[in-house]
């Protein structure tokens, strides 16, 4: 899923400091799963904004709403009747949310309440880490089912580099050296020949490097 | 000339079977050409070639190709280094042609330290291709006369291709295979990370020799003299992939105040003596960074002077 | 200058804190009248929103009174509550509000005296901080 991190409340406050009627919109998708943008978090952010308003003597109204998803026109459309009542809307969905809202409601000021980070999953309750960089040409099967594009700091295809130490990446003791894991796994599975096989340069044209992407299922398009 | 891949001085020394001795010189953090000339000057006549680093530790310095050209002007032979962190395949191939056309004949292909270490940690990192693929790119341009996309290169660059090897990084068992992989990809010569753990290096070299790697590629052992106990501790704890045995740290501590640098040099000289005799080792790469003025003395005491004229 | 009487909301677990309350009652010790009590089955049940709402509604201070970490009847309830209080302190700081307006007390079942003291301590702290809302 897409993992995001809440923006510092101070930053959000600064964004909406000139506005009096604010709507906080959450999303029941990915951001609910990583506990930054669901109904609960909408409640907390809204309460924090109200408290800040009261404390500074500003008369602001903060309302709350959580959509099923902010990445589908049908759900975004549910706000049609009400969204124009607000001066500012804070979306705490991933980066797609504020954009879908902005595109659908061009006259409304939309602000992002989270910093979208990566595609990943839960390592343990409360901890998520990156797994996929969306390179557009999945090759994890060449690396024991692990992805060096997303998980090697240098995206090496013929790793590890000389900085790998105790199974950790040179950039931080908190970052796993995925090449250490790949090599150990494949050597254990007697797949050394696959490891020493030269991997040629990757085509980045299917990644974001090739330009903004689009995917369609022709049989579904009306 | 056609018997050589590049005709560089380093290649000729190695091919003649003589023990090679290379040095290193980092470009300045500015356009201080005078200081660069002065540092390089110390190395003249003491080494067969001089490594010129490329934004080492991700700190911005004068570009490696420019500093290499300055060294050429000073009558030294540069080992032009290129890292994969800062350039994409277009700039890489373009620079390969550029440096060759300006007289550079040795090129070291490296991944590059992550920019988080350096002085511009907010930069985008490139890593369009990795060091293995870079080695292969130079080889393809040189031997097949083709760019990465298959198009012809009108005059192929004839560069002597170098790569780095870290026998001490993990997983240790895989390191010799990675070295073999670099050699298959096209590396003509290898310089290792600086060695302190001689026992572990002997183990590594034995495996390399068993695999016949020394016959396909020239392996130069990396040596960096320890200047102080502080430096030894720093290398042991803060530099990834570095193996500094406690015995060495104790030896330096025992040398007494003011005598540690000399002890560090003595250890380096002992290493060089052993490398001269070690099977599979074709030479030594001395990294005396910001200590270039001591290189002539070290070279003299190591018995590697005068350098061969080939 | 009128005497500021802070409005405090206290969350109390039905285990330790409530037992302490009964003991205090028996000892004829009373809580200050500006402390309002809300009883919960376990402090682990208290959500971050529950801790922020009182401030929205005009409270000057909020505290949680629960078990000791090693004697929570639901094992980790009080530990969870402690984490949430820490989180709310951070939110308050971000809003330039004094983090001491929220606090967590670890009490024991039989200690009625401590129970009352906790309340008075909180009143005292918040009194010194002044009213939550500007006059």
Chain B CB contacts of A181 under 8 Å are none
Nearest to B239 by CA among B193, B171, B290: B193
Count of CB atoms within 10 A of residue A27's CB?
Answer: 29
The pLDDT value recorded for residue C22 is 83
Residue B150 region, left (φ>0) first, then alpha (ψ -120 to 50), else beta?
left
| Mean pLDDT, residues A87-116 taken together | 98
Q: How far is CA C100 from CA B167, C39, C120, in A?
A: 55, 22, 14
In a domain? residue A215? no
The pLDDT value recorded for residue B283 is 98
Tens of pLDDT, residue by residue, chain B (310 residues):
468 999 999 999 999 999 999 999 999 999 999 999 999 999 999 999 999 999 999 999 999 999 999 999 999 999 999 999 999 999 999 999 999 999 999 999 999 999 998 999 999 989 999 999 999 999 999 999 999 999 999 999 999 999 999 998 888 889 999 999 999 999 999 999 999 999 999 999 999 999 999 999 999 999 999 999 999 999 898 887 789 999 999 999 999 989 999 999 999 999 999 999 999 999 999 999 779 999 999 999 999 999 999 8
Question: Rounded to an integer, what is the distance from CA A196 to the centroid of its chain?
Answer: 34
In a domain? residue A42? yes
Chain B CB contacts of A204 under 8 Å are 128
For residues B240 and B14, give the distance between their C-alpha atoms in angstroms, rounded to a whole number. 30
pTM beyond 0.90: the answer is: yes
- Among A87, A117, A147, identify where a domain stops: A117
For residues B185 and B132, give the distance between their C-alpha atoms in angstroms, rounded to a whole number. 7
In terms of domains, do A149 and A199 share one?
yes
Burial bucket for residue B101 (CB in 10 Å: 0-12, 13-18, 19+):
exposed
| Helix-helix angle B198-210:B172-185, to 10 degrees | 50
Contact A44/C at CB under 8 A = yes
In terms of domains, do A103 and A6 share one?
yes
In a domain? residue A30? yes
**Mind giving me the DSSP string for B106-121?**
EEEEE----GGGSS-T
DSSP label of B143: I
pLDDT digits (tens, 9 = 90+) for C32-78: 889 998 999 999 999 999 999 999 998 999 999 999 999 888 899 99
Q: What is the CATH number of the domain that holds A8?
A: 3.40.50.2300
Nearest to B79 by CA among B1, B191, B155: B191
In terms of domains, do A177 and A84 share one?
no
Burial bucket for residue C37 (CB in 10 Å: 0-12, 13-18, 19+):
middle
In a domain? residue A221? no
Do strands A21-27 and A88-91 pair parallel, antiparallel, or not at all (unpaired)? Answer: parallel
What are the structural domain ranges in chain C?
A: 8-127
For residues C41 and A221, give the distance between their C-alpha atoms in angstroms, rounded to a whole number. 53
Chain B CB contacts of A198 under 8 Å are 132, 136, 181, 184-185
What are the structural domain ranges in chain B?
A: 9-301
The pLDDT value recorded for residue A163 is 87
pLDDT digits (tens, 9 = 90+) for A144-155: 999 999 999 999
CA angle A55, A58, A64 (to 5 degrees): 90
The pLDDT value recorded for residue B165 is 95
pLDDT digits (tens, 9 = 90+) for B179-191: 999 999 999 999 9
Shortest distance, CA A71 to any CA of chain B (angstroms): 28
Instruction: Check whether the bond before B216 is cis (ω within 30° of 0).
Output: no
Helix (H, G, I), strand (E, B) or coil at B194: strand
8 Å CB contact of A44 and C91 = yes
Question: Rounded to an integer, what is the distance from CA B260 to the centroid of its chain?
Answer: 25
Helix (H, G, I), strand (E, B) or coil at B105: coil
8 Å CB contact of B130 and A158 = yes
8 Å CB contact of A164 and B241 = yes
* Residue-range definition of the domain harbouring residue A37: 2-117
Which subunits have 3 or more CB–CB pairs within 8 Å of chain B?
A: A
Work out how many domains chain A is built from and give that number.
2
Q: Looking at the partner chain, which of A47, A48, A54 has a beta carbon nearest the beta carbon of C133?
A: A54
**Mind giving me the DSSP string for chain C?**
-PPP---EEEEEETTHHHHHHHHHHHTT----TTEEEEEES-GGG--HHHHHHHHHTT-SEEEEEE--GGG-TTSSHHHHHHHHHHHHHHHHHHTT--GGGEEEEE--TT-HHHHHHHHHHHHHHHHHH--SS--
Domain formed by C8-127, architecture: 3-Layer(aba) Sandwich (3.40)
The pLDDT value recorded for residue C1 is 46
Secondary structure (H, E, C), A88-111: EEEECCCCHHHHHHHHHCCCCEEE
In terms of domains, do A91 and A173 share one?
no
* B135's tokens: 């080695």
Q: What is the mean pLDDT of chain A?
A: 96
Q: Looking at the partner chain, which of A40, A47, A57 has a beta carbon nearest the beta carbon of C56?
A: A47
The pLDDT value recorded for residue C92 is 96
Chain B CB contacts of A151 under 8 Å are none
- Residue A182: is its pLDDT beyond 50? yes
Are B and C close enough to touch, i.e. 3+ CB pairs under 8 angstroms?
Answer: no
Chain B CB contacts of A172 under 8 Å are 116
Residue entry with tokens 């790793």: A159
The pLDDT value recorded for residue B1 is 45
CATH code: domain B9-301 is 3.20.20.220
| Mean pLDDT, residues C91-116 taken together | 92
| Mean pLDDT, residues A120-129 taken together | 96
Contact B144/A at CB under 8 A = no
In terms of domains, do A53 and A109 share one?
yes
In terms of domains, do A93 and A161 share one?
no
């Amino acid at each position: 899923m897409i993992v995001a991190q809440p923006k510092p409340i101070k930053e959000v406050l600064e964004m909406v400091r000139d506005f009096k009627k604010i709507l906080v919109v959450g999303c029941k998708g990915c951001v609910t799963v990583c506990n930054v943008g669901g109904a609960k978090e909408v409640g907390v952010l809204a309460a924090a904004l109200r408290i800040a308003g009261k404390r500074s003597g500003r008369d602001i109204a903060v309302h709350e709403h959580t959509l099923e998803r902010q990445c589908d026109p049908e759900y975004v459309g549910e706000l049609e009747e009400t969204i124009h009542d607000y001066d500012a809307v804070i979306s705490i969905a991933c980066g797609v949310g504020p954009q879908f809202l902005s595109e659908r409601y061009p006259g409304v000021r939309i602000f992002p309440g989270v910093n979208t980070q990566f595609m990943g999953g839960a390592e343990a309750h409360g901890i998520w880490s990156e797994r996929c960089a969306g390179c557009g040409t999945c090759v994890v099967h060449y690396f024991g089912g692990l992805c060096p594009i997303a998980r090697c700091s240098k995206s090496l295809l013929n790793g590890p580099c000389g900085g790998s130490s105790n199974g950790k990446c040179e950039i931080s003791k908190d970052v796993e050296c995925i090449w250490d894991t790949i090599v150990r796994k494949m050597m254990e599975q007697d797949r050394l020949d696959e490891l020493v096989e030269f991997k040629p340069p990757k085509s980045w044209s299917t990644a974001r490097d090739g330009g903004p992407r689009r995917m369609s299922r022709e049989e579904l398009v009306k | 000339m056609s018997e050589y891949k590049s005709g560089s001085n380093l290649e000729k020394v190695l091919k003649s079977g003589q023990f090679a001795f290379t040095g290193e010189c980092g470009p300045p953090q500015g356009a201080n050409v005078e200081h660069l000339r002065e540092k390089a000057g110390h190395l003249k006549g003491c080494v067969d070639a001089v490594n010129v680093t490329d934004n080492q530790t991700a700190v911005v310095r004068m570009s490696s190709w420019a500093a290499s050209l300055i060294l050429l002007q000073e009558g030294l032979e540069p080992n032009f280094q290129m890292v994969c962190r800062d350039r994409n395949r277009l700039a890489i191939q373009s620079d390969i042609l550029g440096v060759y056309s300006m007289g550079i004949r040795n090129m070291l292909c490296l991944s590059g330290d992550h920019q988080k270490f350096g002085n511009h940690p907010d930069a985008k990192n490139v890593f369009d291709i990795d060091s293995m693929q870079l080695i292969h790119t130079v080889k393809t341009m040189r031997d097949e006369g083709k760019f990465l996309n298959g198009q012809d290169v009108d005059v192929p660059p004839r560069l002597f291709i170098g790569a780095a090897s870290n026998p001490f990084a993990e997983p240790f068992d895989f390191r010799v295979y990675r070295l073999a992989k670099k050699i298959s990809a096209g590396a003509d010569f290898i310089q290792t990370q600086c060695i302190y753990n001689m026992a572990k290096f002997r183990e590594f070299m034995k495996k390399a020799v068993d695999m016949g790697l020394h016959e396909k590629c020239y392996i130069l052992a990396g040596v960096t003299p320890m200047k102080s106990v502080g430096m030894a501790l720093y290398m042991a704890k803060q530099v990834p992939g570095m193996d500094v045995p406690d015995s060495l740290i104790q030896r330096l501590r025992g040398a007494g105040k003011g005598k540690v640098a000399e002890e560090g040099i003595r250890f380096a000289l002992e290493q060089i003596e052993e490398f001269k005799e070690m099977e599979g080792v074709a030479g030594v790469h001395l990294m005396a960074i910001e200590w270039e003025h001591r290189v002539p003395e070290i070279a003299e005491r190591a018995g590697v002077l005068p350098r061969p004229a080939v | 200058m009128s005497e500021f009487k802070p409005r405090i909301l206290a969350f109390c677990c039905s285990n330790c804190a409530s037992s302490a309350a009964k003991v205090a009652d028996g000892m004829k010790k009373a809580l200050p009248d500006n402390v309002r009590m809300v009883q919960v089955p376990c402090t682990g049940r208290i959500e971050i929103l529950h801790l922020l709402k009182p401030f929205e509604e005009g409270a000057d201070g909020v505290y949680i009174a629960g078990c000791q970490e090693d004697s929570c009847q639901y094992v980790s309830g009080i530990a969870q509550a402690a984490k949430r209080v820490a989180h709310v302190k951070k939110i308050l700081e971000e809003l330039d509000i004094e983090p001491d307006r929220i606090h967590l007390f670890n009490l024991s079942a039989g200690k009625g005296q401590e129970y009352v003291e906790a309340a008075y301590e909180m009143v005292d702290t918040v009194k010194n901080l002044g009213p939550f809302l500007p006059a």
